C-alpha cells in the first residue's frame, strides 16, 4: 500500500507541476496576445469608415441636386434673356 501511495503522490506532484507550467504559459499568452484587441480596433475603424463613406455619398448627392437646380435656373434665365432680346427688337 505504501508503494502505491508514493506513486500516487509522485504522479500528483508531476500533474500539479505540469499544470502550473501550462497555467503560467497561458497567462503570458493572454497578457501579450493583443490580436483580439487589434481585430476589434480594425472593426471599429471599418465601421467609422463606412459611416464616413455614407456621409460623403449623401453630400455628393446633395451637391449634385444643387448643381442640377442651378443649371436649370441658368437655362431658364438664358431662355428668358434670349426671348426678351428677340421680342424687344
φ, ψ (nearest 5 deg) of residue 34: -105, 15
User: Concatenated DSSP letters for the chain?
Assistant: -HHHHHHHHHHHHHHHHHHHHHHHHHHHHHHH--HHHHHHHHHHHHHHHHHHHHHHHHHHHHHHHHHHHHHHHHHHHHHHHHHHHHHH-
Confidence bin at 32 (pLDDT 50/70/90): low
For residues 52, 54, 59 and 64, what is the CA-based torsion angle, rounded to 10 degrees? 140
Instruction: Kindly state the average pLDDT of the residues 30-38.
Output: 74
pLDDT tens digit sequence for 17-26: 888 888 877 7
Amino acid at each position: 500500500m505504501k508503494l502505491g501511495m508514493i506513486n500516487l503522490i509522485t504522479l500528483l506532484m508531476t500533474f500539479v507541476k505540469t499544470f502550473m507550467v501550462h497555467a503560467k504559459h497561458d497567462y503570458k499568452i493572454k497578457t501579450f496576445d493583443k490580436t483580439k484587441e487589434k481585430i476589434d480596433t480594425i472593426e471599429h475603424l471599418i465601421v467609422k469608415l463606412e459611416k464616413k463613406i455614407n456621409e460623403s455619398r449623401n453630400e455628393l448627392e446633395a451637391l449634385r441636386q444643387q448643381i442640377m437646380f442651378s443649371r436649370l435656373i441658368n437655362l431658364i434665365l438664358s431662355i428668358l434673356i434670349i426671348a426678351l432680346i428677340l421680342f424687344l427688337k
